[in-house]
Amino acid sequence: MKSINELKSEILRLTGEYSRLVHSENRPGYDKKRRMWKEKETIPYAARVFQEEEVQVAVSSILDFWLTLGPEGKKMETELAAFLGVKNSLLVNSGSSANLIAISTLTSHNIEKDRRILHGDEVITVAAGFPTTVAPIIQIGAIPVFIDANPKTGNAFCDQLEEAYSKGKTKAVMMAHGLGNPFDIKQTLLFCKKYNLWLIEDNCDALGSSYSMPRKLAESLGINENSPGLDEGPERIARWTGTWGDISTQSFYPPHHITMGEGGAVNIIKNKRLKVIAESYRDWGRDCWCPAGVDNSCKKRFNWSLGELPHGYDHKYTYSHLGFNLKPSDPQAAIGRVQLKRLPEFIQARKRNWELLRIGLDSLSDILEFSLPTHSESWDSKSGFRWDKSSCRSTCSWFGFKILVKDNAPFSRTDLARELDRNKIGNRMLFGGNLTRQPAFVNLMKDNPHAVRVVGSLSGSDTIMNKVLFIGTYPGLNEDMIKSEIEIIKNFANFSKSIKS
C-alpha cells in the first residue's frame, strides 16, 4: 500500500500529465511545447498563461484543504513584497478590492486628523481609465476631482494637478499607470510633497513597469534606494511602479501580468503603520492581527480595554473599523507564487510583443498614432525612444498595444474594432473612456452635482473615448499571431485608403 506522501506525489504527477495534454494552448507564446496557433483562430487580447506547475500546486493545496488564506498566502505576500522592494503586501480577492482597501485605509481614525480623508474631502484622479480606480473614492464619501488624460500616453495631464488642488480639501492623489505606462511620477511626487498629500498608485496594469530619475532629485523626495533588480548606475534611482507612493494596488485577474484567477494585492510602500490598518479593513475591520488559525499573538487576548467594551473582551472579536472580508483563498495564492516566479520572463515577452507590433505597423503612422512612454517624445525603429529634457525615464511592461485612429484616417475607431472582431482579434477600448460620460457617473451627477469635480474640458479623455482601442501584448502571443494581426490591420487600412481615393 502506498504511503500518503507517495499517493499525493502520484496524484500530482498525473495532474501534471493531464495539464500538459489539455492546457498546451495556455503556455507562453515562446514555449516550444505550446500548441501551434492555426491561421484564422482567435487571437485574444489577453488570457491566462500557465504551465502544469500552476495546476499541480493548486491541486496540492486543495488536497491539503486549507481553503481560506493560509500558509501559501503568507509566503506569496512575503515574496511579492520582496520582488517590489516594499514594506508589506497584503493579498485581497481582486484589484478593485485592493483599491477599496487602499483608499479606506486613509480614512482610519488612526491617521493624523489633518491627513485623514474625511467625508467631503477631495481626491485627485484621472478621467480616462477603469471605473474601480474612482468608485472607491466615492464609496468612502470623498469627492473625485477629475483631471484630463493625454491620448499619447494614456495617463493624466499632471500639469493640471495644481489647478485641481483645493486647500484644506485635497487629501490624496489616486491614479493608475495606464496600460503599463507609468504616469509622470516626478511631477506627481513633487506636487504631493508640496501639499503633504497621500499618493495611491493603481498598479494593476503595470506590474513590472519601472521609472527612474536623477538620484539627487529622488533623494530630495525621500527616495534613496533602487527597487530589487533595478540599477541605472550611481547617478540615477530606478524603482518599480507601485513603489513610489504611499500605497499601491495590484490585480491578478487573468488578463493581468500574473494571475491567481481572481485576486489582487495592497502594497504598503514604507509606512508599516498603514499595514495594520489595511489588514483590519481587509479582515472584517477587526482589531486583532492574529493570522488565521492562530490565537493570542499579542499575549493580551483577554486583557484589552477598547471602545466601550468590558475589560478583557476577546480581542479576536474587537472591531476598530467598518471593514470587509476581501481575502482570497490559499489555493489561489499557491498559483500566484508560481506565476510570480514567471514574472521576469512575462515582462520581457510583453515588451517584445509591443515592439513587434510597433515595428510592423509603423508604415501606418500617417493615419494611426501609437502610444509613447511618459517622458518620450518620439520613436523610430533604429534608435527606439527619444526622451524629453526632464531627465526621467519610464520603462513599460505593456498591458496592451494602444492604437489611436487619427482624424485623417479613412475609417473610424469603431470601424477598426469591427474589422478586428470580424477576424477574431481581441480588442478593447481604453476601459471606460471618459468616465464622466459613463451612465453611472452621469446619473450620480444628476442626483448630486457636487458628487464630483471636473478640471477643464476633459478633451483628451474624450479623444481616448472616441478614437482609441488596444490589442494584446500578453505572453501567450507568438510571432505568427502578431504577424497575422499586423497583416489584417494593414490590409484593412490600405483597402480603406483605396476606397476613399
Measure the CA–CA gap between 242 and 453, rounded to whole angstroms.
26
Res. 127 pLDDT band, cuts 50 70 90: very high
Q: Which of 102, 14, 87, 93 is nearest to 336 (CA)?
A: 93
Task: Tell me the residue length of the chain.
Answer: 501
Other CB atoms closer than 10 Å to residue 411's CB: what's the count? 18
pLDDT at residue 23, rounded to an integer: 97
Whether residue 261 has pLDDT greater than 90: yes
- Give the 3-state secondary structure of residue 492: helix
Element (H, E) at 124: strand 122-126
| Reported pTM | 0.96
**Helix segments in 429-478, DSSP class H:** 439-447, 459-467
The whole-number average pLDDT for the span 298-323 is 92
Whether residue 297 has pLDDT greater than 90: no
**Tens-digit pLDDT profile for residues 72-95:** 999 999 999 999 999 999 999 999
Q: What type of residue is 115?
A: R
Q: Do domains 71-287 and 343-500 have the same CATH topology?
A: no
Whether residue 194 has pLDDT greater than 80: yes
As to burial, measured by CB atoms within 10 angstroms (0-12 exposed, 13-18 middle, 19+ buried), residue 31 is middle
**Tens-digit pLDDT profile for residues 12-41:** 999 999 999 999 999 999 999 999 999 999
Other CB atoms closer than 10 Å to residue 301's CB: what's the count? 17
pLDDT at residue 320, rounded to an integer: 95
The whole-number average pLDDT for the span 289-315 is 87
Domain limits of the chain?
A: 71-287, 288-319, 343-500
Measure the CA–CA gap between 89 and 274, rounded to whole angstroms.
11
Q: Using only C-alpha atoms, what is the Rg of the chain?
A: 24
Q: What fold, for 343-500?
A: Aspartate Aminotransferase, domain 1 (3.90.1150)
Q: What fold, for 71-287?
A: Aspartate Aminotransferase; domain 2 (3.40.640)
The whole-number average pLDDT for the span 469-484 is 98
**Tens-digit pLDDT profile for residues 374-415:** 999 999 988 999 999 989 999 999 999 999 999 999 999 999
Q: Are 270 and 249 in contact (CB under 8 A)?
A: no
Res. 265 pLDDT band, cuts 50 70 90: very high
- Give the 3-state secondary structure of residue 313: coil
Q: What are the grid coordinates assigned to 388, written together?
A: 524629453
Whether residue 292 has pLDDT greater than 80: no
Q: Which of 300, 336, 344, 343 is nearest to 318 (CA)?
A: 300
Measure the CA–CA gap between 486 and 480, rounded to whole angstroms.
10
Half-sphere exposure of 453 (CA within 13 A, CB side): 17
pLDDT at residue 2, rounded to an integer: 84
Residue located via cell numbers 487619427: 406
More confidently predicted of 487 and 389: 487
The whole-number average pLDDT for the span 219-248 is 96
Q: Which residues pair with 404 in a beta bridge?
A: 369, 468
CA torsion 52-55-58-63 (nearest 10°) is: -90
Q: What type of residue is 380?
A: D
Q: Are 390 and 472 in contact (CB under 8 A)?
A: no
Q: What are the grid coordinates assigned to 314, written together?
A: 476577546
Q: Which of 177, 256, 315, 375 is catalytic?
A: 256
Measure the CA–CA gap between 71 and 53, rounded to whole angstroms.
18
Half-sphere exposure of 73 (CA within 13 A, CB side): 20
Whether residue 299 has pLDDT greater than 90: no
Contacting residues for 488 by C-beta, under 8 A, at least 6 apart? 419, 420, 423, 425
Q: Are 57 and 334 in contact (CB under 8 A)?
A: yes
Q: Are 26 and 48 in contact (CB under 8 A)?
A: yes
Measure the CA–CA gap between 253 and 267, rounded to whole angstroms.
17
Other CB atoms closer than 10 Å to residue 212's CB: what's the count? 25
Q: What type of residue is 296?
A: N
pLDDT at residue 288, rounded to an integer: 87
pLDDT at residue 90, rounded to an integer: 98
177 is catalytic: no
Q: Where are the beta strands (DSSP E) in 190-246?
A: 198-202, 210-214, 236-240
* Helix, strand, coil abundance in the chain, percent, nearest 5: 40, 15, 45
Average pLDDT across the chain, whole number: 96
Q: Is the dihedral of CA 308, 275, 54, 49 positive or negative?
A: positive
CA torsion 86-92-94-96 (nearest 10°) is: -70
Q: What angle do CA 361, 367, 372 make, to 5 degrees?
A: 60
Q: Are 126 and 146 in contact (CB under 8 A)?
A: yes
